[in-house]
Amino acid sequence: MFIEYTFSMDDGKVLNYKINFERPRADILDREDYPTWTELDFHQCANCPLRPEDYSHCPVAIDAKEIILGFREILSCSVADVRVLTPEREYFKRCDAQTGLRALIGFVMATSACPILSRMRGMAHYHLPFASIEEIVFRATTSYLLTQYFVHQDGREADLELTGLKRHYEELQTVNYDFLQRIRAASEADSTLDVLSTLFSISSFLSGNLEQHLKKLKPLFAESPKVDV
C-alpha cells in the first residue's frame, strides 16, 4: 500500500512524494549516508525508548528527510494545488503549503518505526488528508476504541474511559516538541517548522480538551428516543 502527494506550487515548482505504508529498514545505518540531524541522539525525544547503541538514526527523521529538505525553501503561506492519491480514492485541495505538508508529515510520522507514533498505524491505514479537528477527534477515538475491543477479545481489560488515549496525546506533545528542535537544524524556511508547531498544538489541544470535543460529537451518536405506540 502507498499514498502519493503532489504539490503544484503557483511558481511552477512541483514536489511529489510516494510513501509506502511499510518501510522496512536496518536498525544500524551508515552515518555518512544521512544528515547529522537524523541521528537518534541528535535532540532525541525525551520519552524515546530507543537506545543509540541499538538504533543509529531516528526512524521519523529518516522517513521525513526528503520531505523536509524539499520544503526547506518554501514558505508556509505559499499556495499550492495539493493532490493526494490513495489506493481507494483521490483527494484535491487548493491550500497553503502548511496544510498539505501537515497531512503528509502526519501520515509519515504515524507509519514510521517510532514506538510511540506507530500506535496510530491503524488510523493511518485509512488516511484522511486535510482532516478537521472534529474529524481527528472522531477518527482517533473510534480507532482507540476498536483497539480496546480487540483487547477485550483477548481477555484483557478494555479502557473505555479513554485514559490511554489521553496519555498518548500527552506523549505526542513531547515527541512533536522535541522533533521540532531536531528539524530546526534542517530547515531554511518556516514551512516545516510551522507544520510541527501545528502538530504540537493539536496534540496539546486534544490532550487537555478531548472530553469537550467528545461532548460536541455526542448528539450525533445519541440513541433516538423511544416512541410509545
d(CA 5, CA 14): 10
What does the chain come to in residues? 229
Within a domain: residue 186? yes
Determine the pLDDT at residue 92: 97
Percent of the chain residues past pLDDT 90, beyond the cut:
51
pTM of the model: 0.85
Report pLDDT digits (tens) over 90-139: 999 999 888 888 889 889 999 999 999 999 999 999 999 998 888 988 99
78-85: average pLDDT? 93
Within a domain: residue 213? yes
Report pLDDT digits (tens) over 125-153: 999 999 888 898 899 999 999 999 999 99
Within a domain: residue 228? no
Is residue 39 a contact partner of residue 58, using CB atoms and an 8 Å limit?
yes
198-220: average pLDDT? 76
Within a domain: residue 229? no
Give the count of domains, the chain: 1
Q: Which domain holds residue 133?
A: 2-221
Within a domain: residue 138? yes
Residue 10 predicted with pLDDT over 60:
yes
Within a domain: residue 226? no
Within a domain: residue 24? yes
Is residue 146 a contact partner of residue 122, using CB atoms and an 8 Å limit?
yes
Within a domain: residue 227? no
d(CA 127, CA 148): 20
